[in-house]
Chains A and B, each alone.
Chain A
Amino acid sequence: MSTVRSSIAALLPRRSDLRRQRLRSAWLFLLPMLVVLTAVAGWPLVRTIYFGFTDASLTNIEGARWIGIGNYFSVLSLPSGATLYDGLLVDPAWWRAVWNTVRFTVVSVTLETIFGMIVALVLNAEFKGRAVVRAAVLIPWAIPTIVSAKMWTWMLNDQFGIINDMLLGLGLIGQKIAWTASPDTAMIAVVIVDVWKTTPFMALLILAGLQMIPGDIYEAAEIDGVHPLKVFWKITLPLIRPALVVAVIFRGLDSLRVFDLIYVLTPNNLQTKSMSVYAREFLFDFDKFGYGSAASTLLFLTIALMTIACIAVGRVSVSGEAR
């Protein structure tokens, strides 16, 4: 193959000149974007990773000293002879944040997928005023998270919140619940609001997948006499799987770095503290900039690994489909 290509290239020198010229102009077009990305994404990332290996503090960033992996893991030998382990990897609060984040991601993305699928199936059906409903469904997604988090804070308020009022009125609860403050319900509250906010996004991506399915396939299934539920499991679901996988990956990665919703809705709640919230606390509240940077780096690594894994799994499923 390569020998064929090189012999063709030898036969057509002009063509390879043209190719080189095209490559050059391609890079030229890419250059501005690369510069901007390096400045706003690359450089801060490198700095964060660097600070993760220093003892930097907010008041003295320039005077940061290199301490190796001390922020991640260090062994302290006390004069008394006891050994102390220190650092992010042995910090139970960090692992609690990791657990919170993962739990939040799994539960909310699962619920969003289910509800998003239902909404998408409804929106895919023909009915009057479909365009209006489609637009209306997107409203939760369009509201800035801070605004919707504040809104829900009031709705979930233990004294004045409408949710408690309604549940009491229906007789579903005996007394008012401090949704966002109580350790038992804080995570539930966060999941409810996140599901409310991002289900439209899920629905939209799934709807796009549904609309790619040609209608006559359903007619063929009708003539084959396939029960509607079976049509969903055997035809609709396999055909929208690529769109579904993309949507779940998007939402999953988004959820792993959840910050604003939790920061506003349930501040200082151990049950809901996510990795991002944890990192921010150390970066700015506790003035341990180096330690916070190390946490940010770990969060970045987690998301990067998940992304790579998702892409790999996605490829496998695609080639599995092709057989």
Chain B
Amino acid sequence: MASLTLRGVRKSFGTVEVIKGIDLDVASGEFVVFVGPSGCGKSTLLRLVAGLEDVTSGTIAIDGEVVNHLPPAQRGLAMVFQSYALYPHMTVYDNMAFGLKIGGDRKADIDRRVRDAAEILEITPFLDRLPRQLSGGQRQRVAIGRAIVRNPRVFLFDEPLSNLDAALRVTMRIEIAKLHESMAGTTIIYVIHDQVEAMTLADRIALLNAGRVEQVGTPMELYQTPANLFVARFIGSPAMNTVPCVIESAAVGTKVRPQGGNSVAVAAAIPGEAAGSEGIFGVRPEDLKLTTESDAIFAGRINIVEKLGEVTMIYITTGDEPIVAKLRGDVGAKKGDNVGLTAPLECLHVFDHEGTAFPRTLG
């Protein structure tokens, strides 16, 4: 039930600056995911919010109140750790009740809250067990339970599912989504390096890279209108095909010619003076379709065909970089075939030579 505001947040460890000025607004009740490659600073940012690390400069405010100097316990938040961080010598019940007992809550009240949380997470049968007698998924539920009973203003999750196996991860992901729905109004910050998890859970994603926010937006905004090359390549699997291109005409009737491809019209607002300069052309593998060689953006010989059942991946080489296409079903293409690939106008992305996306002219 709280908003979170970051203003110019910086963090240095010694001479190394890992968070390089972050501004972010999280609305009350929002589910925001910090995502990014390893070492981008997303976990550090979460720890700054939690108060486990001190900010070097900038402010962190919860509900408009600056909490920079408050210890973690007084910030009114709860955190779920990647490694669960359960107290190994306490039962599940005590793990969940410990923080409340310390806080001096009434015994009956503690008991009710612990049992309610256990009920929601379906861990009631394990309340008397020790963490080591539980499976990974059960431990993760206990860790979440310990966070729930605190009735926090903000929930922090630090890669909570990365120690679980793939199948369990999907189950828990759905449960966390359900949990968010059942706790209407609870603000959640969730750190993850897996973009699929980010896309499925988040109301909004903050994509971090090298201590900076590259883009903040809904999952579909990041997918459809990436602000720059980094976002474009990070979101989506396999990654977007990006090849250098020449901007043939700008302002009106924008056209670009990707390296190794044919000239193609794009829906991007490219200023007139950029005409003739170099840029980067991008198209997602799943947006490409087979076509005749004459209509194609890219045409060439198929190097590799991967049949995955639901989709077929084909790799063709036209310029320096291979182009990947992800086609639905079994398209019957064979290695060595000459094919053409094209994509709809609204799926084509153009970036300037520094990697910033040109604004799109379609809605």
In the bound complex, what is the Cα–Cα distance between A238 and B71 (angstroms)? 25
- Which of B51, B77, B81, B130 interacts with A220 by CB under 8 Å? B81
Task: Pick the interface stretch among B96-104, B305-313, B352-360.
Answer: B96-104
Q: Which residues of B contact A224 (CB under 8 A)?
A: 73, 98-99, 102, 146, 150
- Which of B85, B89, B98 interacts with A214 by CB under 8 Å? B85
The distance from the CB of A205 to the nearest CB of chain B, in whole angstroms, is 19
Contact with B along A221-256 (1 / 0, CB 8 A): 111111100100011001100000000000000000
Indicate whether A47 reaches chain B with its CB closer than 8 angstroms. no
Q: Is the CB of A216 within 8 A of B85?
A: yes
Q: Which residues of B contact A323 (CB under 8 A)?
A: 91, 128, 130
Q: Is the contact region of chain B dominated by helix, strand, or loop, or is it mixed?
A: loop
Query: In the complex, which residues 160-194 of chain A have their Cβ closer than 8 Å to any Cβ of chain B?
Result: none
Indicate whether A219 reaches chain B with its CB closer than 8 angstroms. yes
In the bound complex, what is the Cα–Cα distance between A222 and B87 (angstroms)? 13
Indicate whether B50 reaches chain A with its CB closer than 8 angstroms. yes
Q: Is the CB of B102 within 8 A of A223?
A: no
In the bound complex, what is the Cα–Cα distance between A220 and B73 (angstroms)? 10
The distance from the CB of A124 to the nearest CB of chain B, in whole angstroms, is 18
Among A225, A238, A321, residue most surrounded by chain B Cβ atoms (within 10 Å): A225
Indicate whether A61 reaches chain B with its CB closer than 8 angstroms. no
Q: Is the CB of A225 within 8 A of B102?
A: yes
In the bound complex, what is the Cα–Cα distance between A222 and B86 (angstroms)? 13
Indicate whether A76 reaches chain B with its CB closer than 8 angstroms. no
Contact with B along A285-308 (1 / 0, CB 8 A): 000000000000000000000000
Q: Is the CB of A225 within 8 A of B52?
A: no
Q: Is the CB of A220 within 8 A of B85?
A: yes
Given contacts A223-B73, A225-B74, contact A217 B85 (CB under 8 A): yes
The distance from the CB of A144 to the nearest CB of chain B, in whole angstroms, is 39
Indicate whether A26 reaches chain B with its CB closer than 8 angstroms. no
Q: Is the CB of B50 within 8 A of A227?
A: no
Q: Which residues of A contact B73 (CB under 8 A)?
A: 222-226
Q: Which residues of A contact B72 (CB under 8 A)?
A: 222-223, 225
Query: In the complex, which residues 108-131 of chain B have their Cβ closer than 8 Å to any Cβ of chain A?
Result: 128, 130
Given contacts A216-B81, A235-B87, A322-B130, contact A223 B50 (CB under 8 A): yes
- Which of A217, A223, A322 interacts with B79 by CB under 8 Å? A223
The distance from the CB of B335 to the nearest CB of chain A, in whole angstroms, is 47
Q: Which residues of A contact B86 (CB under 8 A)?
A: 217, 220
Q: Which residues of A contact B98 (CB under 8 A)?
A: 224, 226, 234
In the bound complex, what is the Cα–Cα distance between A111 and B83 (angstroms)? 36
In the bound complex, what is the Cα–Cα distance between A230 and B73 (angstroms)? 14
Q: Which residues of B contact A235 (CB under 8 A)?
A: 87, 89
Number of residues of chain B lying within 8 A (CB) of chain A: 27
Indicate whether B9 reaches chain A with its CB closer than 8 angstroms. no
Q: Is the CB of B102 within 8 A of A230?
A: yes
Considering only CB atoms, which chain B residue lies closest to A238 in the complex? B89
The distance from the CB of A213 to the nearest CB of chain B, in whole angstroms, is 9
The distance from the CB of A230 to the nearest CB of chain B, in whole angstroms, is 7
The distance from the CB of A216 to the nearest CB of chain B, in whole angstroms, is 4
Q: Which residues of B contact A226 (CB under 8 A)?
A: 73, 98-99, 102
Q: Is the CB of A220 within 8 A of B79?
A: yes
Among A214, A219, A220, A321, residue most surrounded by chain B Cβ atoms (within 10 Å): A220
Given contacts A224-B102, A225-B99, contact A214 B77 (CB under 8 A): no
Q: Which residues of B contact A223 (CB under 8 A)?
A: 50-52, 72-73, 77-79, 99
Q: Which residues of B contact A214 (CB under 8 A)?
A: 83, 85
Q: Which residues of B contact A227 (CB under 8 A)?
A: 102
The distance from the CB of B124 to the nearest CB of chain A, in whole angstroms, is 18
In the bound complex, what is the Cα–Cα distance between A323 and B87 (angstroms)? 16
- Which of B83, B88, B91 interacts with A239 by CB under 8 Å? B88
In the bound complex, what is the Cα–Cα distance between A38 and B138 (angstroms)? 51
Contact with A along B149-180 (1 / 0, CB 8 A): 01000000000000000000000000000000
Considering only CB atoms, which chain A residue lies closest to B98 in the complex? A224
- Which of B85, B91, B130 interacts with A219 by CB under 8 Å? B85
Considering only CB atoms, which chain B residue lies closest to A321 in the complex? B89
Q: Which residues of A contact B87 (CB under 8 A)?
A: 217, 220-221, 235
The distance from the CB of A59 to the nearest CB of chain B, in whole angstroms, is 60
The distance from the CB of B2 to the nearest CB of chain A, in whole angstroms, is 16
Q: Which residues of A contact B50 (CB under 8 A)?
A: 223
Considering only CB atoms, which chain A residue lies closest to B81 in the complex? A216
In the bound complex, what is the Cα–Cα distance between A223 and B73 (angstroms)? 5
In the bound complex, what is the Cα–Cα distance between A223 and B74 (angstroms)? 8
In the bound complex, what is the Cα–Cα distance between A230 and B83 (angstroms)? 23
Considering only CB atoms, which chain A residue lies closest to B102 in the complex? A226
Given contacts A216-B83, A322-B130, A323-B130, contact A222 B52 (CB under 8 A): yes
Q: Is the CB of B89 within 8 A of A219?
A: no
Q: Which residues of B contact A238 (CB under 8 A)?
A: 89
In the bound complex, what is the Cα–Cα distance between A216 and B159 (angstroms)? 13
In the bound complex, what is the Cα–Cα distance between A235 and B50 (angstroms)? 21
The distance from the CB of A227 to the nearest CB of chain B, in whole angstroms, is 7
The distance from the CB of A231 to the nearest CB of chain B, in whole angstroms, is 10
Q: Which residues of B contact A239 (CB under 8 A)?
A: 88-89
In the bound complex, what is the Cα–Cα distance between A226 and B79 (angstroms)? 14
Known: A225-B102, A226-B99. 8 other contacts (CB 8 A): A216-B85, A222-B72, A223-B50, A224-B150, A225-B99, A226-B73, A226-B102, A230-B102
Chain A to chain B contacts (Cβ below 8 Å), 14 pairs: A214-B85, A217-B88, A219-B85, A220-B79, A220-B81, A220-B87, A220-B146, A222-B51, A225-B99, A226-B99, A239-B88, A239-B89, A321-B130, A323-B128
- 10 A-B pairs closest in CB distance: A225-B73, A224-B99, A216-B85, A220-B85, A238-B89, A223-B72, A216-B81, A222-B72, A226-B102, A223-B79
Residues of B within 8 A of A (CB): 50-52, 71-74, 77-79, 81-83, 85-89, 91, 98-99, 102-103, 128, 130, 146, 150
Residues of A within 8 A of B (CB): 214, 216-217, 219-227, 230, 234-235, 238-239, 321-323
